[in-house]
Structure 1
C-alpha cells in the first residue's frame, strides 16, 4: 500500500490544475457520473414543474382578466335595468293615453287638442328612443314561435291554419336589455295547428325539447 505524503498530494493537485488550464478532459469515476446524471434529471424535473406552474398561472391570470372584463361589460349594460323597468310603466301610460283618444276627437280640428296629442306622441317617441339608446329593446313577437324566456302566454286561440304555439296576438309588449328580460311580452298563442319547428333558443339547444305555453295567467290578464 502506497502512502501518499504532502508532496504527492501537492503534485496531484498541481496536475489537476494544469489539466483544467490546458483544457484536457477530466476523468470521473462511475459513481460521480451517476450522481451528475441523477442531478441533471432532478434539475430537469424541477424546470418542467416550474414551467407547468408558470403556464397555469398565466392561464389563470388570463381567465381572471376576461372574467373581469365580462363583469364590467355586464355592469355597464345592466346598471340601468331597475330604472328602465320603472320607466316602462310611464311608457305604457303614454301609450294608453294615445289609444284612449277617440277618432272623432282626433279629427275635430281643435288646435289645442291637436297640440296636446302631438306633445304626448313626441314624449312617447322620445322615451322609447332613450330606452333604445341604453340597450332596451321592445318585444313585439306577433307571428313568432312562443318562447317562454321572453313571452308569457295569456290565452290560447284555436286555429288549425297556424302552426301550434305561434304568437297570434300581443296583449302587452315586452322589453329586454341585452339577453335579460325586463318584462315578458304578454301574448296569445295558437292551438290546434301543425307542430311548429323548434325555436333555436339556447335552452332548447341544451335540453333538446320545445317549451309549451303554461296556463293563462288570470291575474296578469286582469292587470293588462
Structure 2
C-alpha cells in the first residue's frame, strides 16, 4: 500500500470565515495630520506676532523712559539753582540806580560780577532745557501760574495775568516752579476782542 496517497480530509480547504471577519472590522479614523499641522502653525504664528508686539512695546517704553531720564534728571538740581538765581536777582533789585552810579569802582565791580553770575546761571539753565514760563498778558493757567492777588482792571479780560511777582520755570513739559502772578478782575471777557477791533479800524 502506497503512503503517498492523500487522505480526503487533508485536501479540505481552510475556512475563510476568520479572514472575512478581520477584513470587515471597522477602522478608527484619527485627526487629519494636515489639519493638525495647520492648527499648530496658526498657534505658533500668533505667538510670534504677540511676542513681536510685546518687544516693540517694550522698546518704545524703554526709549521713552531713557528720554524722560535725560530730560528730567536735573529737575531737582535745577529747582535748587533757581533759588540761588532768585537770590542774585533780589540782591540786584534792592540796589537803587543812583547807588550804582555813585558807587566806587570796587562796589561797581562787585555789582557787575553779580550781574554776570546771574546771566551765566540763566544761560546754563536754558542750555539744559530750563525755560521761563510765559505769564504776563497770558490767560491764567493754574497748571503754570499761581495767583497771588487780583487786580481790578476793566481794560483787561478777567483772568488775564497782569503782573508777575516771581518768574516761573519749566523743564520740558514739566513745571519746575509756577509763576507767581497777579490776575485781572472785573474786566469783560470780550475786552481783548474789542481792543483788537478798535486798533484795526
Aligned ranges 1:149-164 → 2 under 5 Å:
149-164=143-158
In the other structure, the counterpart of 1:106 is 100
Q: Secondary structure at the match of 1:101?
A: coil
In the other structure, the counterpart of 1:83 is 77
Structure 1: distance between partners of 2:81 and 2:178: 15
Per the TM alignment, residue 66 of structure 1 is displaced from its structure 2 partner at its CA by: 1.0
Q: 1:54 aligns with which of 37, 45, 48?
A: 48
Quick check: 1:166 aligned with 2:150?
no
Deviations 1:155-182 (A, max 9, x none): 1112222122111110100111111111
In the other structure, the counterpart of 1:176 is 170
Deviations 1:106-137 (A, max 9, x none): 22263222211111110000000111111111
In the other structure, the counterpart of 1:127 is 121
Per the TM alignment, residue 3 of structure 1 is displaced from its structure 2 partner at its CA by: 9.0
**Number of matched pairs:** 168
Q: Secondary structure at the match of 2:44?
A: helix
Aligned ranges 1:1-224 → 2 under 5 Å:
1=16, 38-108=32-102, 110-195=104-189
Q: Secondary structure at the match of 2:102?
A: coil
Q: What is the TM-score normalised by the length of structure 2?
A: 0.76
Structure 2: distance between partners of 1:109 and 1:82: 38
Q: Secondary structure at the match of 1:107?
A: helix
In the other structure, the counterpart of 1:26 is none
Query: RMSD of aligned C-alpha atoms?
Result: 2.1
Structure 2: distance between partners of 1:109 and 1:177: 38
Per the TM alignment, residue 94 of structure 1 is displaced from its structure 2 partner at its CA by: 0.5
Structure 2: distance between partners of 1:51 and 1:195: 60
Q: What is the TM-score normalised by the length of structure 1?
A: 0.69
Structure 2: distance between partners of 1:146 and 1:42: 67
- 4+ residue segments displaced more than 4 Å: 1-4
Q: Secondary structure at the match of 2:131?
A: strand
